[in-house]
Structures are given as structure tokens and as C-alpha cells.
Amino acid sequence: MKWSSKITKVEPNHLVTKGYRQEDLIGNIPYPHVVYLLLKGELPSKEHGKMMDAILTACIDHGVTPPSSMASRVVASGGVPLPTAVAAGVLSIGDAHGGAIEKGAKFLQEGIARMKEEGKSIDEIAKILVTESRKQKKRILGFGHRVHTADPRTKKLFSLADELKISGDCIALSKAIEKELVGQTGKTLPINVDGAIAAISSDMGFDWRLGKGFFLLGRVAGLTAQVYEEQTEQKPMRKMFDVDCDYDGPDERDIP
Amino acid sequence: MKWSSKITKVEPNHLVTKGYRQEDLIGNIPYPHVVYLLLKGELPSKEHGKMMDAILTACIDHGVTPPSSMASRVVASGGVPLPTAVAAGVLSIGDAHGGAIEKGAKFLQEGIARMKEEGKSIDEIAKILVTESRKQKKRILGFGHRVHTADPRTKKLFSLADELKISGDCIALSKAIEKELVGQTGKTLPINVDGAIAAISSDMGFDWRLGKGFFLLGRVAGLTAQVYEEQTEQKPMRKMFDVDCDYDGPDERDIP
Amino acid sequence: MKWSSKITKVEPNHLVTKGYRQEDLIGNIPYPHVVYLLLKGELPSKEHGKMMDAILTACIDHGVTPPSSMASRVVASGGVPLPTAVAAGVLSIGDAHGGAIEKGAKFLQEGIARMKEEGKSIDEIAKILVTESRKQKKRILGFGHRVHTADPRTKKLFSLADELKISGDCIALSKAIEKELVGQTGKTLPINVDGAIAAISSDMGFDWRLGKGFFLLGRVAGLTAQVYEEQTEQKPMRKMFDVDCDYDGPDERDIP
Amino acid sequence: MKWSSKITKVEPNHLVTKGYRQEDLIGNIPYPHVVYLLLKGELPSKEHGKMMDAILTACIDHGVTPPSSMASRVVASGGVPLPTAVAAGVLSIGDAHGGAIEKGAKFLQEGIARMKEEGKSIDEIAKILVTESRKQKKRILGFGHRVHTADPRTKKLFSLADELKISGDCIALSKAIEKELVGQTGKTLPINVDGAIAAISSDMGFDWRLGKGFFLLGRVAGLTAQVYEEQTEQKPMRKMFDVDCDYDGPDERDIP
């Protein structure tokens, strides 16, 4: 049974991660750059490092209501260790919660590949993609938010991407889709924070399969804070909700 | 059902975390400082911020064998989404894996409180604590490692703590215990990376109940990389182990 | 690296669990008896088998509000596979949710051991234990419920335990404590379903460390149903709660 | 925020699940029948109840090597509560581990629907499906096993399904595919236990989306036993593996 791994070489008193001795990384390379190193294999340029830092911070927390916070707090309330409760929040990161980064990035990356293959412009491929998605009644992920119409995180991330000269085809396609959606539907579906990270991480050259990873790497900070607050400020098994739940199953009956 | 939370205020197009607008934090405040903010309520000094960054990096990865990596890779092998597999690794962070930070920090913090109460010196309280623990046959957590005798992470963290003028009573007590252990047992049980983080975070004023939190916040980076590598480089359900397992249960028999 | 296990011998075309060939167990031994076999090493008597079956059913479901159901539904809402969401519910089974079985069983088993050692009667030891717990301001677990004053599950389980001649010292002690609590506090804190399972499983000779196991083994049935209902009847990321959450953290401020 | 649920009505001292009072179910209706009730909405016939019982037992345990057992044991080794470790095992139940029940059942159910639509026989549709899958280089799930060539669980489950008169179109299609696979490939890929449960549960009228649910409902019994054994027979953080892991990442280098 032979394993191989490109991540860390472990020897007594010697830890080498992606080629770098851990004692050299600690305190010398900012943690978000180390995250980049782990996910991409190389340390980032100054610009990419700063962008990665910004992406992590953009994911930290969205209050108590998202499935991840709620799952973490509810599980904490059962009286379990902190990591168990944080992990419960991480479990909720799925296709519908944070998942737009993964699927959005795939969509953009494939869109750009197709654009090049078919010799189209950004605007042309945006029009084609929106038209096709509407015909197939498929939602394009990364647009629209259940709370925000102008998400301050999105705006900030895009302005940083411009400033750091990271903005490329995927961000351009993302913005062209946003415009095309208004044109074709009359409704404004602004790029949300997931969509922004999908576009930016794609222009940074990341594999779309890491999409949910970016979200969870930032969000664990908020989840740890949520669990810590629940554990230190609240009683276990406190009554958390007034869920008004109608039972609409079979009428009461005797067993046969 | 009224909740209250000190973490994030969520309003349409307005996200305020611990008083700061998220768009102000993104790209301006390094992510490890934001983590500090979330766990302590205030942004760190430059020194504390740098130390927090170093702590996160010190936890990133230790190869494929620790329970967390192994759990993440094994679960990934079942064919599940990336966050599910990362969460499985987080679940393994317990009293025996990363747990020495929590218990070690509690031990040091209580030790220092007792030292002050009883008017003792660091060396005196170290002697008392080691003697008592040996009598009660309780292991003092944060000393000794199954692989390293001189963990390069520990050395680096302590030298940073000195340089950043963070070193205080808890670090001093930790080193005094290390010395006392040699004196009383004749064996060298060097402070391990968990013990170092326990001591340093205590001198930074962190609640010991966050101990496992520091570890998980850094380790999720390595776990994400481990899961990504498993998902992209290996086949699902590959044969991972040649476990040589003796069945020593009841002999084969017929049902009654 | 040698492992040993008393659970299952795996050979090509041959699976032996606790001595029995799996093809002999399937369809011949009721599943709750097989659960008993796995946890105790031997197949149950007819009476113990029936009791185990009843215990599993007594744990199946308690609607949408307990932490376990809520965690499972919230995580399902993130758009993840069914087992991921069911596991999230299992994670919430902790000291405060289902945990009274474990701690209650330990308390009863140690109480009976002490009774025998000190040559006391059930009523005498009940009085001592209640008095001591009140002095130490420790709650005796397994008494009182946030919804039920006369839990129909408890009554049924105890009447079955009588009928099946399982009732012994631990059930007797449990009932004596219930009486003593009224006597000493004037308040009625009836044995809850966790307390009943603690007492009954103790009289069946089970290790108290399996306490949370009984609960989870029954509850996964309800959790699977909850997740399936959420996934098939509801939209992902539906608005689940009107949580009225006050932000009481620091006032809004500029970054330094 | 209005919820509705068909599962359990919770009122003080009154718990009604799918129409039945829980105190009536406990001790009167076998637990596997209650599981059936929860997943299908109605109590089973005697035959369906017995089949469900057999399915649960067929999933209980497969020793220490499958991802689920391994994940549970590894996580237990970190020093966490029993439910946390059991949940880690449940997390590994995915497309590649137990997932063939879900995908296999979908394949069979859709195959039978298409057979009826196109007026074909079982043998004809089996031939079409195998031919198409081979052209698309898609594996048909539920055939072949990494350990067993004649899985004793499969044989027993199918003979029970015959005996209980449950065998119908899906089982017939499953067997026809097995034959067709030999014919077209020359290789024997026997129906494995997942494939058998896929076929049988389909003939019992279950939704394929419950596929992984059957597996987890049975397997939690084995996982609970695995965790209990690890916690009571082994030391935390024991050295579990001699993983022979080659580091094939970048060569050791200095930070820039």
C-alpha cells in the first residue's frame, strides 16, 4: 500500500510543506499566502496573496441565520465539543449554500473556453449562455441574494481585483452576464459574493473544484465565533425557536 | 424567541462585524487579524496580529497520518463533497488530537492564578504542579510528541513570542514545567506545538475554551488540500490500507 | 501495525459477526437483536430482545424542534447528500441532548454499587444521592422534560420492563430518586425518556458509555425521515426562521 | 414562518408519528417496521416488514476497512464523544460507498419505466441498457465487489425476496443485467449487496433517493460497535497505520 502526496513531508524535527520548511513559513509568510500555497502549489505574487486574504475575509460571517451558523449553534446547544459544532456548520456548505462559487466558477471557466474555441467576444458568449440557460430553465449561479441587492462585499472584491490587476476574462464574462440578465429578463440580478469569488478565483487560475473550499476556509472563523458565543453566553438546550409547525401527516389512528 | 449576538449585524447591503463594516475589513485588515477580532472582540495590536498569523500557520498540516487528515481522506474516498470530507477531519479534533491546547491553556492559566494567590514564584508553582500531577498519575498536556523531539514549530513560535514581546507568565510557567519534568522524571518531554500555542495564546489573553479553535482554524487549510488531492489524484474507494486485523471475537457458531 | 477486533471477520464470500455468519442473521434474527449482539457480544434472550426493540422505537423522533432534527434539516437545506445531513443531526447528540442516558446510567450504576458497598437500602441511597446532589448544586440527569410532564414513552417503557421481568435495582433506584426529589424540593420532576432508558439499559447490564449510542441508533430513523422530507418537500435555502436577533456587539466604527 | 411536516405531532404528553401514538408503537410494532413507516408513511405488510428487517441487518458491518468504519475509528482515536465518531463514519457514505443503492435503484426504476413505455421485455431492455452503458463507458452500479465474488448477503436477500413474494420487475431486470454483462464482456460481475438492496427496495416501491438511507440505517449499528470498541479497548491517538507515503511535492527550498 503505497501513498504519495505533494503536501507535507514529515520527518522527525523536520516538516516541509510544498517544499518550504514550516519554521520558515511561520511568521514570515502571511497565513492567507500559505493557504494559497497549499491549494495551488506555489506561493502567490504580492497581488494574488492580497486577493486571497480579501476572499477569506469576505466569507467570514453573515450572522446567525445562514444554514452554516444555524447548524453550528444548534449542534453546540446539544452540549458537544467546539470542533464538533463547527464541523456541523461546515457540513451545510453545499450546492445551495456557498455552492455557487464552485458551479459559478465552472460555468465561467467553461464559458471562456468555449468563447475562445468559437471565436466569440465576451458579450457574444454572455448572450449565448444566458439565452441557453433561460431556454433550459436553468438558473445561472452567483447572481441574486436573499438579503442584499448591492452586496458591499462584492463591490469591494471587484474593486480590489481591478486595483491588483487580477481582473480578466472570467470577471468580464461575469459582468457581461449580469448586464445580459437585465436585458433579457428586465430584472436586476446582481452578482452576489459567491459569484464574485467564482469570477475572481477563476481569473486567479484556481480549479473550480476548490470553490466550496474558499468559502469554508473563510467561514470557519465566523463559525468558531458563533459556537464560542453559544457555548459561553447561552444555556445548553435553550429554547431556540418558536417554529410554528403544522402536522399534516395521517390522522391519529390505532395500530393494526 | 429573542436572540442576541455580538458577532455580525446583518441588514440589506450592510454587514457589520464586531463594529466594523465588512467592506472595510476586506483587503485592509489581514485575515488573521480578522480571526482575532472575531474571537476576542477587538482588532489586535500589530504584535498580536503577527502572532495570531504565526499560530494559524503553525497548525496547517502534518502530512497524511494524523487522525484529522486520515479521516478527511478516508471520507473523501467514499465519494462525498469537499466540505463533508473536510468536516470529518475537523470532527477528529478532540481531547487527544489538538486537545492539549485547550487543556494545557487551562492548566497554565489556573496555575498562574494559583501562583499569585499563594504568593509563589514561577519555579515554585511549576514544582508543585509537576509533583501533584505525578502523584495523581495525571499527564500534563502539551509535552512530548509521537514524532518530534525538537519540534521546529515550537522553537519558532517561542522565538516569535519573545521578539514580539508577548512572552509572559504562562510561557515562563510552561518552560519551568518542562525543566521540572526532566528534573523529577529524568526524561525529556519537550513542549510540543500544542503546548506552545497553549502558552502563547494564554499570554495573549485568550480564553482556554478556544484552544481547539486555534488548531482547527489553521488545520482546515491542510485538510482542504488533503481532500482536494484525494479527490483529484486518487480513485474513489481505492484500497487505502493493508490493515492486518485479527478477529478475536467469538468462534464461528450457528444461530440458536 | 496489528489490529484486533471482536466485531466482524471478513473473508471472501464469508462474513462472521460476533461468531454468527451474516447470512444466518439476515432474515432470521430481528435487527434489534442484532444491534444487541453488536453492543453486548451475545444475542439477547427473548425478553431482552423485545426490550431493545422498544428502546430503539422510543427514540425515533420528536418532531422538528430538537437540536438533532433542526441540525439535520438546516444542513439538508444547504443542498448536501442525505447522509451528510443525517450525520449533522447525530453530531448534536451531546451532554445536553440524549446525554442524560449516559450520565444517568453512570449515576445509577455507581449508586447501586455504593448501596451494596455501604449496606444501604434503595430508599436510603436515593435519599443520600439527592441530598448530596442538592448540596453540590448538581442536577441529577434524566428527570424533568421541557415539553412533557408525563411522557407516554417513559410509562410504556417501564411497564414493558416490568412485564418482561427486566426491572431491577437501577429502575427501583430511579423511581426512588423521583420520589425523593418531590419530597426534598416539593417539585415534581418526573423521570423522562432518557432517564427511563438509562435505568432500563442499566438493569439489562449495559455499559453506561453506550448511553448516547442507544439514542442515536433509534433517532437516525427520524433524522433520515426529516432529511428526506426536507429534500423532497422543500426548496433548498428556504427561509426557515424569523430569528429576532439583536446585535449587541460594539457600535459601528471605522477601521483604525 | 410556517413549517409543515408529516412526521411527528408533538404535544405535551402526546407524540403521534405518522398517525400512530408512540406509546402504541413501542413494544408492539418491531423497530424495522417503524423505520418503514417513517420512510413510506404506512406500516408494512408482514412480508415487507420482514424484508426491511433483513435489509437493515444486511448492512450492519463489514469489518474495520470500509471508509465508514475507518473514519469512525480514526475520529474516535482523536478523543471525541461516541456520536461525533459515529457521525464521521456516516459522512463517508457517498457515491462510492453505499451509493450504488441510490444510483442503482434509479437506474432500475428508470429502466423499468422505459421498458413499459417502449413495449420491451426485461431481457430486451437489459440488453439495451448494458449496450448503451458500455458505449458511454459508464459503469452500471451495484455489480462487482472488491472482496466478494459470491456475496453471501446478496444470495440471502434475494432468496428472502422470492420467499416473501416481493421479487418483481426490478429484481428481474437486475438479474438480466448480470447475465447480459457476462454475455457482452465475458467477465462475471455479480450483483453485490448494494445492487441487491437497490433492486429489492425498488420492488418494495421505495423512492431511489432513500438509497443511501437504508445503508446508513443499518450501518450505524456496526459503526457504534466500532467506536465503542476503539474507545474501550484502545488508547487515544494510538499509532494506527504504517502508511508508506512518498512525498512527491516540490523539492525543499528557501522562502523567497
Residues of D in contact with B245 (CB under 8 A): 63-65
Nearest residue on chain C to D81, judged by CA atoms? C94
Residue D51 half-sphere exposure toward CB, CA atoms < 13 A: 30
pLDDT attached to residue D221:
98
Query: Tens digit of pLDDT for each residue in B3-46?
Result: 999 999 999 999 999 999 999 999 999 999 999 999 999 999 99
**Closest by Cβ to B13, choosing from A98, A151, A213:** A151
Q: How confident is the model at residue B170 (pLDDT cuts 50, 70, 90)?
A: very high
Residue pairs between chains A and B whose CB atoms are closer than 8 Å: 258
Q: Give yes or no for residue A212 having a pLDDT over 90.
A: yes
Cα distance between residue A121 and residue D180, in whole Å: 49
pLDDT attached to residue D93:
98
- B99 contacts D92? CB cut-off 8 A: no
**Closest by Cβ to B17, choosing from A7, A61, A98:** A61
Residues of A with CB under 8 A from a CB of D: 1-9, 16, 18-21, 24-25, 28-29, 41, 43, 80-81, 83-84, 91, 243-256
Q: What is the pLDDT along chain C (256 residues), one digit of tens a residue?
A: 789 999 999 999 999 999 999 999 999 999 999 999 999 999 999 999 999 999 999 999 999 999 999 999 999 999 999 999 999 999 999 999 999 999 999 999 999 999 999 999 999 999 999 999 999 999 999 998 888 889 999 999 999 999 999 999 999 999 999 999 999 999 999 999 999 999 999 999 999 999 999 999 999 999 999 999 999 999 999 989 888 899 999 999 999 9
Residue pairs between chains B and C whose CB atoms are closer than 8 Å: 115
- B209 contacts A10? CB cut-off 8 A: no
**Closest by Cβ to B237, choosing from D79, D84, D97:** D97
The yes/no answer to whether this complex scores an ipTM above 0.90 is: yes
Cα distance from A30 to chain D (closest Cα, Å)? 12
Beta-carbon contacts of B251 under 8 Å, excluding residues fewer than 6 positions away, are: C19
C21 three-state secondary structure: strand
Residues of C in contact with D56 (CB under 8 A): 31
DSSP chain A: -EEEESSEEEETTEEEETTEEHHHHTTTS-HHHHHHHHHHSSPPPHHHHHHHHHHHHHTS---S-SHHHHHHHHHHHTT--HHHHHHHHHHT-BTTBBHHHHHHHHHHHHHHHHHHHHT--HHHHHHHHHHHHHHTTPPPTTB--SS-SS-HHHHHHHHHHHHTT---HHHHHHHHHHHHHHHHHSS---B-HHHHHHHHHHHTT--GGGHHHHHHHHHHHHHHHHHHHHHHHS-TT------EEEE-SSPPB---
Q: Can you name the residues that pair with C4 across neighbouring β-strands?
A: B246
- B249 contacts C18? CB cut-off 8 A: yes
| Cell 422505459, residue located | D114
Nearest residue on chain B to C5, judged by CA atoms? B247
Residues of C in contact with A95 (CB under 8 A): 78-80, 236
pLDDT attached to residue D238:
93
| Residues D216 and C224: beta-carbon distance below 8 Å | yes
Cα distance from D126 to chain A (closest Cα, Å)? 30
- C65 contacts A241? CB cut-off 8 A: yes
- C28 contacts B255? CB cut-off 8 A: yes
Cα distance from A132 to chain D (closest Cα, Å)? 25
Count H helices, E strands: chain C? 11, 5
pLDDT attached to residue B113:
98
Nearest residue on chain D to C211, judged by CA atoms? D82
Nearest residue on chain C to B10, judged by CA atoms? C247
Residue pairs between chains A and C whose CB atoms are closer than 8 Å: 128
**Closest by Cβ to C241, choosing from A65, A75, A80:** A65
Strand A244-247 versus strand D2-5 pairing type: parallel
**Neighbours of A (≥3 Cβ pairs closer than 8 A)?**
B, C, D
Element (H, E) at C247: strand C244-247
Strand D20-21 versus strand B244-247 pairing type: unpaired
**Closest by Cβ to A84, choosing from D21, D80, D91:** D80
Amino acid at the residue D177: I
Residue C28 DSSP class: T
Strand A20-21 versus strand C14-17 pairing type: unpaired
Cα distance from C126 to chain B (closest Cα, Å)? 30
- A251 contacts D21? CB cut-off 8 A: no
- Mean pLDDT for D220-238 is 97
Q: At residue C141, what are phi and psi to the nearest 5 degrees?
A: -80, 145
Cα distance from D91 to chain C (closest Cα, Å)? 5
Residues of D with CB under 8 A from a CB of A: 1-9, 16, 18-21, 24-25, 28-29, 41, 43, 80-81, 83-84, 91, 243-256
**Neighbours of C (≥3 Cβ pairs closer than 8 A)?**
A, B, D
Nearest residue on chain C to A68, judged by CA atoms? C75
Q: How large a percentage of chain A has pLDDT more than 70?
A: 100
- Mean pLDDT for D106-132 is 98
pTM of the model: 0.97
Q: Give yes or no for residue A87 having a pLDDT over 80.
A: yes
Q: How confident is the model at residue B87 (pLDDT cuts 50, 70, 90)?
A: very high
